Amino acid sequence: MRAAFFALSLLLALAAPAAAEVKSVRLYADRSFGFFVGDLVTARLEIIADSASRLQTASLPRPGALDYWLDLRDVHVREQPIGDGLTRWDIELVYQLFYVALDVRNLQIPPFPLRFLREGESEIARAPAWTIGVSPLREVLPARRDNPTDYMRADRGVEQGDATTPAARAGIFAALAFGALALVAHDRGWPPFHRRRARVFAAAARRIAALTKGDGEASRRAAMLALHRAIDEAAGRRIFAEDLDAFLSSHAEFASVKEALGRFFNSSRALFFGVADAGGDLAATELLALAKTLAALERSVG
């Protein structure tokens, strides 16, 4: 009979819902003294309970006025499992003081309850009250002064900074900027570099690029003439096929394209003078490529 009663009691105990089990409640504050009217007071409430428990958010304190001298500004909750079947709830609390203290005194932040629920059973975890020290902004009866301005402290003097390093850096950056501008001006032919030797092949390449877009015989002739005029201007006189070696001797920067220039002159002779055996025809794309190569070589020597 006694064994049967014990077994029945054990079954009833197992069948009964388990209450939420709160392990610990701790309050952490940044400091507990040195507060003035208008200051924000922050605290962190740490609650550890079994992981099956659930914090009822409806039991959290609501932001608003708690007293004539105290407001709750913000409440923020973080939940984090910490192992061994336990969970930690961190509740961040931000209060604001409106107490105008006439002397140094202690004030108590009121406690509040929090409800945890597990399988239909609840448990109350109570956040503890805590005390903070408040101070007046000024003395109630300061020592008498003949001059009213003596009650105020003098302004802090302005610290003299060292301007040497910023000035040196500014000079370095200005020199770099000026050097970059000079390089761009030289490349574009801006003053005072506008009197440099004209880049005749660059202009010819642009002209030929525009002419080779057309397929007509007139466009082809004009493109060939544009390169002829550029070669003549670079040499300072008219250059024919038989003058090519002399031209390259005085303008060694173009020696690498001697073969292409020879084909150009042969193609020109065939086009303008009808000499069929003068050499192969130079395609429009090859003519444009030759002009661009000459322009690049021209640019490389300034």
Is residue 157, in this structure, part of any structural domain at all?
A: no
Q: Please report the pLDDT score of residue 281 as a whole number.
A: 74
Does one domain contain both 127 and 212? no
pLDDT grade for 70, boundaries at 50, 70 and 90: very high
Q: Which of 103, 134, 165 is the last residue of a domain?
A: 134
Does the residue 104 lie in any domain? yes
Please tell me whether residues 207 and 292 are part of one structural domain.
Answer: yes
CB 131 within 8 A of CB 108: yes
Residue 102 sits in the same domain as residue 206: no
Residue 59 has pLDDT above 90, yes or no: yes
- pLDDT reported for residue 133: 95
Residue 167 lies in a domain: no
Write the pLDDT tens digit of every residue in 83-121.
999 999 999 999 999 999 988 999 999 999 999 998 888
Domain that holds residue 39: 18-134
pLDDT tens digits, 157-187: 777 777 788 888 888 999 999 889 888 876 6
Query: At which of 134, 153, 188 does a domain end?
Result: 134
Residue 65 forms beta bridges with which residues? 71
Dist. CA 192–CA 194, nearest whole Å? 6
Residue 290 counted as domain residue: yes
- CATH number of the domain enclosing 105: 2.60.40
Distances (CA, A) of 140 to 104, 148, 150: 11, 15, 16
In a domain, 185, yes or no: no
Question: Same domain, yes or no, for 127 and 205?
Answer: no
Among 82, 103, 134, the domain-final residue is 134
Q: pLDDT at position 167, please?
A: 83
Number of domains into which the chain is organized: 2
Tell me if 232 sits within 8 A of 238, measured CB to CB.
Answer: yes
125 in a domain, yes or no?
yes
* Contacts with 213 (C-beta within 8 Å, 6 or more apart), sequence order: 219
Distance between CA atoms of residues 167 and 206, nearest Å: 45
Question: Do both 130 and 227 map to the same domain?
Answer: no
Which two three-digit tokens encode residue 188? 């574009």
CA dist list (Å): 215 to 212, 226, 229, 284, 296: 7, 16, 21, 9, 26
Is the residue at 244 inside a domain? yes
pLDDT tier for residue 279 given thresholds of 50, 70 and 90: low
Question: Does residue 172 lie in a domain region?
Answer: no
Q: What are the distances in angstroms from CA 117 to CA 16, 29, 53, 84, 173?
A: 15, 27, 5, 19, 67
Q: 131 forms bridges with which residues in the sheet?
A: 108
